[in-house]
């Protein structure tokens, strides 16, 4: 029995990892600059732009307050426009990415705001230009917090990917619903759950390890 | 070297606080190579004054001239270039926790776009100057307060500035470490001929380090002159009370650790002893 289950389980695990890795990467690409600008465009800050705060602050909050499964359904036309279909693993990446961008942006904003203002001042006194304050001071100092946040995002996305799995995206969630639930195979369900736990555990441990390595505040 | 002419600074009213006039017409002349102290009680406007010199604060009116240039009119683009000519040392060190001692000291050069070779050439001689050769690849979390401040000083010196601005640089340190840091600063002034502006609320720091002192109260300089003169014959009530504080310390028996008693012996050898 295990011999027939193993390949499907492996395939599903791979699909989950693929969905999460790709959506996390693309979301970071967009979320990073968004988070940096949210953290630096307030009154009296490096790139003061109050209109940016007023437009993107609420937008980020709005996206974050929509339950993921509703977001995934609501943006189906957009998903179809981007990947040509709304079904399948690649299609699932679109809602996962859209949900992760504001999440990551807030995490990066938060981590950057944690950096002691005295460091910004010291950098400016040394003759740092605003962009240099971000690249040389704020991001390196916020790195442990950013890694923690991205780990949290990855774990959340694993959960979300199981949800989109339920609407035909493949992955572990899909496997659990189709075999474990609909065909009543408790062994498959158990295997899926255990695999999810292992994957989440592995991601969390790896993220913690990276964050610890980046953190030079307590040596 | 530095001239402040009728400098005013008003902090605009914000939610929960009224408008506040921090500087009310400051006039101060600082010659090249001189160490000038600015002393006063908390809230007198000392930090605001020193921050107006490198334009971390923009004066509301008046002019700041550094090395013959009126810097109050500099554009946002030119401001960083100007600031690279001044080094600043802070009360709470403000070191980057993510960078080693070497990389912290290298930061101003990195910002200016120096090559790796030039950075090493500038930073390597600074490590023995501040007594930190052994800590080169350590992180700030592994250093004592005094060692952190040595990194702060080396960092301020690495871009070879003409002026060193020090805002309460010994206020977070114990008396013995304070004495060593003051010795180091005096030594640097002698060796490099740097102009220094030293903010403090302790007369002992002024006595140990400064050639001249300006006493501030309520956003104005109430008394100014050579250190010996001020100590011998304080005219203003603020100066007298600041001096009385020192006398109290003296009477309390802390004179052994009093920086005022340790003006001489400005060698890096002693500067490097602290652990
Ligand atoms: N950014 C600011 N906004 C509003 N008011 C400020 C600001 N910075 C300083 N002030 C006010 O200006 C006055 C002078 O402040 P400053 O920091 O220059 O004092 P100081 O002499 O350095 O005091 P301390 O010894 O406590 O450091 C204080 O009353 C302070 O509350
Ligand atoms: Mg101050």
The structural domain count of chain B equals 1
Identify the band that residue A49 occupies on the pLDDT scale cut at 50, 70 and 90: very high
pLDDT for position B130: 94
Determine the 3-state secondary structure of A46 from DSSP: coil
Residue B94 near residue A118 (C-beta atoms within 8 A): yes
CA distance A203 to A205: 6
**Is the pTM higher than 0.80?**
yes
The answer to whether residue B111 neighbours chain A at the CB level (below 8 Å) is yes
pLDDT for position B246: 76
Does residue B134 lie in a domain region?
A: no
Determine the 3-state secondary structure of A207 from DSSP: helix
Do the strands B61-66 and B69-70 form a parallel or antiparallel pair, or are they unpaired? Answer: antiparallel
pLDDT for position B250: 59
Does residue B41 lie in a domain region?
A: yes
Give Cβ neighbours of residue A10 (< 8 Å, ≥ 6 apart).
none
3-state SS track over chain B = CEEEEEEEEEECCECCECCEEEEEEEEEEECCCCEEEEEECCCCCHHHHHHHHCCCCCCCEEEEEECCEEHHHCCCCCHHHHHCCEEEECCCCCCCCCCCHHHHHHHHHHHCCCCHHHHHHHHCCHHHHCCCHHHCCCCHHHCCHHHHHHHHHHHHHCCCCCEEEEECCCCCCCHHHHHHHHHHHHHHHHHHCCEEEEEECCHHHHHHHCCEEEEEECCEEEEEEEHHHHHHCCCCHHHHHHHHHHHHHHHCCHHHHCHHHCCCCCCHHHHCCCC
Contact B107 A126 (CB under 8 A): yes
Residue B36: which domain range? Answer: 19-93+162-253
**What value, to the nearest 5°, has the Cα angle with vertex A92 and ends A89 and A97?**
130
Residue B22 near residue B9 (C-beta atoms within 8 A): yes
Contact A219 B86 (CB under 8 A): no
pLDDT for position B263: 41
Does residue B123 lie in a domain region?
A: no
B34: domain CATH number is 3.40.50.300
Does residue B56 lie in a domain region?
A: yes
Identify the band that residue A2 occupies on the pLDDT scale cut at 50, 70 and 90: low
User: How much is the ipTM here?
Assistant: 0.89
What structural domains does chain A harbor? 2-218 (1.10.3720.10)
User: How close is the nearest chain A Cα to the Cα of B229, in Å?
Assistant: 33
pLDDT for position B249: 64
* A10-38 pLDDT per residue, tens: 999 999 999 999 999 999 999 999 999 99
Does residue B268 lie in a domain region?
A: no
Percent of residues, chain A, with pLDDT higher than 70: 98
Q: Both tokens of residue B184?
A: 């180091």
Q: Both tokens of residue B130?
A: 């501040």
**What value, to the nearest 5°, has the Cα angle with vertex B117 and ends B115 and B121?**
115
CA distance A158 to A162: 6
* A99-117 pLDDT per residue, tens: 999 999 999 999 999 999 9
Residue B66 has pLDDT above 90, yes or no: yes
Percent of residues, chain B, with pLDDT higher than 70: 90
CA distance A176 to A197: 13
Identify the band that residue B267 occupies on the pLDDT scale cut at 50, 70 and 90: very low
In Å, what is the CA distance from B94 to each residue of A6, A15, A33, A89, B140?
A: 55, 46, 25, 48, 10
Contact A218 B141 (CB under 8 A): yes
Q: Which residues of A touch B (CB under 8 A)?
A: 116, 118-119, 121-129, 132, 136-137, 140-141, 143, 214, 216-219
Identify the band that residue A86 occupies on the pLDDT scale cut at 50, 70 and 90: confident
Percent of residues, chain B, with pLDDT higher than 90: 83
**Burial classification of residue A51, based on how many CB atoms lie within 10 Å of its CB (0-12 exposed, 13-18 middle, 19 or more buried):** exposed
């Amino acid at each position: 029995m295990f011999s027939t289950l193993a390949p499907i389980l492996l395939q599903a695990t791979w699909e989950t990892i693929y969905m999460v890795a790709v959506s996390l990467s693309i979301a970071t690409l967009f979320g990073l600059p968004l988070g940096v600008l949210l953290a630096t465009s307030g009154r009296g800050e490096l790139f003061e732009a109050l209109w940016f705060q007023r437009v993107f602050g609420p937008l980020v909050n709005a996206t974050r307050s929509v339950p993921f499964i509703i977001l995934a359904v609501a943006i189906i036309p957009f998903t179809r426009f981007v990947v040509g279909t709304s079904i399948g693993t690649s299609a699932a990446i679109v809602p996962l990415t859209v949900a992760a961008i504001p999440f990551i942006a807030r995490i990066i904003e938060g981590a950057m705001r944690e950096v002691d203002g005295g460091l910004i001042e010291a950098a400016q006194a040394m003759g740092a230009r605003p962009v240099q304050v971000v690249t040389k001071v704020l991001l390196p100092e916020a790195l442990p917090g950013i890694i923690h946040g991205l780990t949290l995002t990855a774990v959340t996305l694993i959960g979300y990917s199981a949800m989109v799995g339920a609407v035909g995206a493949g992955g572990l969630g899909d496997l659990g619903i189709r075999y474990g639930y609909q065909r009543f195979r408790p062994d498959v369900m158990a295997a899926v759950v255990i695999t999810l736990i292992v994957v989440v555990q592995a991601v969390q441990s790896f993220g913690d390890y990276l964050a610890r390595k980046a953190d030079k505040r307590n040596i | 070297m530095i001239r402040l002419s009728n400098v005013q600074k008003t902090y605009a009213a914000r939610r929960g606080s009224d408008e506040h006039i921090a500087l009310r017409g400051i006039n101060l002349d600082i010659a090249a190579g001189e160490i000038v102290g600015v002393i006063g009680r908390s809230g007198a406007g000392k930090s605001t004054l020193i921050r107006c010199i490198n334009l971390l604060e923009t004066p509301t009116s008046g002019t700041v001239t550094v090395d013959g240039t009126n810097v109050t009119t500099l554009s946002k683009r030119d401001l960083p270039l100007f600031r690279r000519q001044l080094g600043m040392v802070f009360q709470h060190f403000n070191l980057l926790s993510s960078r080693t001692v070497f990389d912290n000291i290298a930061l101003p050069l990195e910002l200016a776009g120096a090559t790796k070779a030039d950075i090493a050439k500038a930073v390597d001689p600074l490590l023995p100057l501040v007594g930190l050769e052994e800590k080169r690849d350590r992180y700030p979390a592994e250093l004592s307060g005094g060692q952190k401040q040595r990194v702060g000083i080396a960092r301020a010196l690495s871009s070879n500035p003409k002026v060193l601005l020090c805002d309460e640089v010994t206020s977070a340190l114990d008396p013995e470490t304070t004495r060593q840091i003051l010795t180091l600063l005096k030594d640097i002034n002698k060796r490099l001929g740097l102009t220094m502006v030293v903010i403090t609320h302790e007369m002992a720091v002024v006595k140990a380090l400064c050639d001249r002192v300006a006493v501030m109260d309520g956003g104005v300089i109430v008394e100014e002159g050579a250190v010996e003169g001020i100590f011998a014959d304080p005219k203003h009530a603020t100066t007298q009370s600041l001096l009385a504080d020192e006398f109290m310390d003296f009477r309390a028996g802390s004179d052994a650790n009093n920086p005022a008693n340790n003006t001489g012996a400005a060698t890096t050898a002693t500067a490097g002893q602290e652990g």
